[in-house]
Chain A
Amino acid sequence: MQKLYLPQLAVIDQIVDETADTKTFTMHFDNPHYNAEFRYLSGQFVEASVLGVGEAPFGFCSNPNRTGTFAVTVRAIGRVTRAMHAMHPGDLLGIRAPLGNHFPLQEVQGYDILFVAGGIGLPPLRSLIEPMLDMREKFGRFTILYGARTPADRVYKTRLEEWAQRKDLTLLQTVDVPDETWNGPVGVVTTLFERTHIDPAATVAFTCGPPVMIRFVIQDLLAMGFPEDHIISTLERYMKCGVGKCGHCAIGHKYICVDGPVFSWRQIKKLPER
């Protein structure tokens, strides 16, 4: 019988401050055998527990090709996330994973790839960007558009620097509110579309970010002529059980936790609530 609700203990290896309220936790499973066998796919998520405080869902942000450890990026905003932020390397989390479906990876080979991320929407996309870059030659033009409230609110600043240096991808960033360090574009992420060359028929777009951003991104992509199944996003609900039982993430007759969180616009537009 499967143990649906029982987490595995994971040891925190490293905690990196990303922004004033966001940290990335890299960890491995305490049980060496379990850790060696553990695999996940880009787009899947974990239910992370601080025992005695509770459990909350987070998308993987790490590269699934790098086995042995995995990571999630967490903004301190509720009880569980604040408790996580108070933890240190060596501390234990309970982890139930991998949960949910995943981004298409093999299926989109041969296409141009466009990522549109907002704020803390970049972490789940990073878990797809990195395995794609591992086989960069399988894809056409590779574009990442990233928007944040301020320059300091951008996550993975070092990684963004590395991506910016690469000749085989285009990274454009924008902020809502610039500071003295910023000499890039200012405005919402959709204003970056006119600065890039996109061939909608040959491109698959992945977008993740605040609900209002996703709404406008999809609107613009559709206006550019993207086919509905070439727009891939994730739906967010407070998933409690993560295994399709508790009802919290039900949207219509779908459960975000088992049927999602990854959906194409063709699927999303059929859902009654989104």
Chain B
Amino acid sequence: MQKRSIRRAQINVLLEKLLSLHQVIYAPQKLGNQVDFAPLRDLQDLTLDHIQTVRSAKAALFPPVEELLRYQRAGVETELQDRDLTNLAEQVLFGTRPCDAAAIAPLSAVFTTDDQDAIFARRLERTTVISVSCERSDGDCFCTSVGVGPGDSRGSDLLLTRLQDDEYLAEILTAKGEALLQLAPELFGPEPAESKEAHLAKVQKRFDWEALHDKLAGAFDHPFWLRTALACLGCGACAYVCPVCSCFDIQDEGSQKKGRRLRSWDSCGLALFTLHASGHNPRSIQSQRWRQRMMHKFSYMPDQLQQLGCVGCGRCSRACPADMNLIEQVENFLFA
């Protein structure tokens, strides 16, 4: 890893350069009264003074809806065409927080363990991640409780940390990061004297995820689920904003003559998720679905894939219309 410095104005020059190379840049922008990731068209739209985007950066790697295949029928001829991956553009994810970058590892574990999902793998291969460390956090942030940190470099190719005013530490972490440096070496200065630690947000550790993991193993029939799920509306917003949630549905769009097969985000919190055509539903009540969500993230995923299903971004707590706060739920569960 190399450490260099870069000024705020030079970051813009770097992004301009990437745009001129026709790279798609997903970056945080003010959209209405909220900050969210969107393809960057004008550098004036870029914002970095937010704490957290409403939605995570996962859509850049795993879009809410995407094509799996196309089909077409003409007379007796039927043609099935696999998703064409040759024209997937090189893209840059800019301004991801370290928690979003850390979510790439569990996402990859789901999509590339055993059989490899070619669409995800190819898109990841063509993505460069430039993250910006957190200077501030809010009461919903809990990255340090799940082994992530406000200056965590995992998942990033280049990590920027603001040291003062407009000077940033630039940590070049991978070959893709190195390629960014080589693209415009004149924009980068020498390694700054100061380290980043003093400039990172202080995120208090709120719970011990290993204790949570261990307690969940014996808590399938715990009354906690039934009691706390009474608040849950089953809306799935938590999964929608989550950087790790990766469950998807598969649906056809079009007629029997011509159309596409699509996959779209789904959520284990939704009542239809496990519904059989017969009407039988293995998870027929909300407490079973709420339990599945927590168990999957903090018990099953670590056991199956050696990855926690949570990076502590706090989006589920911010998005929940019933105010089910993840930190509070975990604290209550650990005491229950």
Q: Which residues of chain A have a CB within 8 Å of any CB of chain B? A: 1-7, 9, 49-56, 77-81, 92, 94, 211, 236-238, 240-241, 243-248, 250, 252-254, 258, 272-273
Contact = CB atoms under 8 A, between A and B. Distances in A.
B280 A247 contact: no
A246 B111 contact: no
B191 to A, nearest CB: 40
A77 B252 CA distance: 18
A6 B117 contact: no
A237 B282 CA distance: 8
B266 A246 contact: yes
Contacts of B300: 250, 252-253
Nearest to A6: B82
A242 to B, nearest CB: 10
B261 interface: yes
Interface in B57-72: 68-69, 71
23 contacts: A2-B118, A4-B117, A6-B68, A6-B82, A49-B252, A51-B80, A51-B252, A51-B256, A52-B252, A78-B278, A237-B282, A240-B249, A241-B250, A243-B115, A245-B111, A245-B117, A245-B246, A245-B248, A247-B246, A247-B296, A252-B295, A254-B304, A273-B288
B251 A52 contact: no
Given A244-B115, A248-B274, A252-B300, A53 B80 contact: no
B207 interface: no
Contacts of B82: 3, 5-6
A245 B280 CA distance: 22
A13 to B, nearest CB: 16
B276 A253 contact: no
A258 B266 contact: no
A216 to B, nearest CB: 16
Interface size class of B (residues with CB under 8 A): 35 or more
Given A77-B278, A253-B303, A52 B248 contact: no
Given A5-B69, A237-B282, A244 B114 contact: yes
A2 B83 CA distance: 12
A19 to B, nearest CB: 15
Contacts of B111: 245
B249 A246 contact: yes
Main SS of chain A's interface residues? Answer: loop
B329 interface: no
Given A236-B276, A246-B247, A272 B220 contact: yes
List of 7 A-B pairs having minimum Cβ-Cβ separation, nearest first: A78-B277, A247-B247, A52-B256, A253-B304, A253-B300, A5-B68, A1-B118
Contacts of A6: 68-69, 80, 82
Contacts of B256: 50-53
Contacts of B254: 52
B102 interface: no
Interface in B255-304: 255-257, 259, 261, 263, 266, 268, 273-278, 280, 282-283, 288, 292, 295-296, 299-301, 303-304
A1 B82 CA distance: 12
A148 to B, nearest CB: 16
Contact of A240 (B83, B116, B250): B250
A241 B68 CA distance: 11
A240 B219 CA distance: 28
Contacts of B275: 238
Contacts of A243: 114-115
A80 B252 CA distance: 11
B114 A237 contact: no
A241 B254 CA distance: 20
Interface string B91-120: 000000000000000000011011111100
A52 B69 contact: no
Contact of B259 (A52, A211, A250): A52
A51 B74 CA distance: 13
A105 B312 CA distance: 47
Contacts of A237: 274, 282
